[in-house]
Structure 1
């Protein structure tokens, strides 16, 4: 069996030596044995475990405990409990597919809402909107602060929501429930304002080049599809590791 020092592992995996030590500290790889001079000695199993972890963390899906689940899987594999790791990965794969279904379903709901013309001309206060949509007052404030909607005010300063505002809020709520980011939703709403025939799914999943920080939820469906592909790769890797180690 080949043995490797910290710097050699770092070079093979393409990471910094400090990251190798961090993974060991966090239990994402087994503890390395040490030589008499104190140098860590890593094995082929450590290399394969690192590769597994790198695939697992390439797309970090945070919602509904998925990130916690994938960390638990990596730690189970590090402890050579490959059966548990395989079970966790298969559960993760099912959940990722379910999240994709929710994301796609939200887009269909949005399409229906966009082409649904409000008939009434009613006015609502924020508290009434919160109760009607079952959305917290803080969420409504947050959406407004982030530019997702602009609410008119009466002379006394109170916000007044129109039926058009309600429709927009339903769109935002549907997408947030499916874990789309505020940035992705704002991008879509702005695009639809200038181009009502825009492809909603494409806009939601295509961050602009000038966006400084892009998260998984800024390109949700694409990220979930990649997470699904990676989960299948991890299952194959775990099966190979179980047979080899």
Structure 2
């Protein structure tokens, strides 16, 4: 059985030694044995557990409790409960696939809405009527407007009014927000479609503005979900490796 000091483990993984200690304190790796002088001694199983952590946090999907599930997988691995971690990773993969399907379904609905012809631009709706038609709150409409997803509303007797085309755009926004696309991704798509209505909606939603200083996971949701699924499948292989290493190390001690 190979053993390593903290600095050696950090060098192998490519992280700071304090990060190794942090993962230990968080419970993501098992407590290492210590030498008489107090130095920690790590094994190949510890290195495999750290690699699992790095894979798990490479893409952090926050929606629908997915990040909490990743943390739970890592804690199970750090506790040596590998079979439970493997089962939970399978559940995580299935949930990621569901999120991907929801994101793709939203795009199909948006394509259909975009292709529809506006019917009666002389028909106006109040904010309350628009919110009721969309089954969202008036505060949600205000939030979308503040985020630039809808242009400043016309006024009628001091009240905001919405046209049929506004309602269609709001339906598009609602569908995409329900599928967890970010405000920024929706804003970029809506802006581009207003100038280039024939552009590919999927590409617009999955391609952040290169001038954006900060890009979140949901700014390129489909790519992020695909990467998260690939990483999770890699984690399954890593967990099987950890199980083998732990069994081997346990056998060598006995």
TM-score range for the pair, normalised by the shorter chain length: over 0.9
Match of 1:64 in 2: 64
Deviating 4+ runs (over 6 angstroms): none
1:243 and 2:244 correspond: yes
SS at match of 1:154: strand
Q: What are the equivalent positions in structure 2 for 1:1-245 lying under 5 Å apart?
A: 1-120=1-120, 121-154=122-155, 156-245=157-246
Give the Å deviation of 1:57: 0.9
Once the two structures are superposed, residues 70-102 of structure 1 have per-residue CA deviations (whole angstroms, 9 ceiling, x without a partner) of: 110111111111110011000000010111100
Q: Distance in 2 between matches of 1:141 and 1:34?
A: 58
d(CA) in 2 for partners of 1:5, 1:240 = 21
Q: Unaligned stretches of 5+ in structure 2?
A: 247-254
Query: If the length of structure 2 is used for normalisation, what is the TM-score?
Result: 0.92
Kept in 1, the 8 Å contact 2:177–2:183? The answer is yes
Where structure 1 has 5 or more consecutive residues not aligned to the other structure, the ranges are none
Per-residue CA shift, 1:79-133, capped at 9, x if unaligned?
Answer: 1111100110000000101111000000000000011112133211112212221
- Rate the CA distance shift 1:42–1:170 in 2: closer, same or farther, 3 A: same
Give the number of equivalent residue pairs: 245
Structure 2 residue matching 1:186: 3-state secondary structure: helix
CA distance in 1, matches of 2:124, 2:33: 70
Using the alignment, how far apart are the partners of 1:128 and 1:38 within structure 2? 69
Q: CA deviation at 1:59?
A: 0.9
> Under a length normalisation based on structure 1, what TM-score does the superposition of the two structures give?
0.95
Larger Rg: 2
Q: Secondary structure at the match of 1:172?
A: helix
Contact 1:100 1:224 in 2 (8 A): yes
Q: Which whole-Å deviations, capped at 9, do the CAs of 1:152-173 have from their partners, x for residues lacking one? A: 2325432111111110010011
- Name the CA distance, whole Å, in 1 between partners of 2:172 and 2:39: 57
Q: Tell me the SS of whatever aligns to 2:93.
A: helix
Moved more, 93-102 or 128-137: 128-137
Task: Determine if contact 2:27/2:78 at 8 Å carries over to the other structure.
Answer: yes
CA distance in 1, matches of 2:141, 2:156: 21
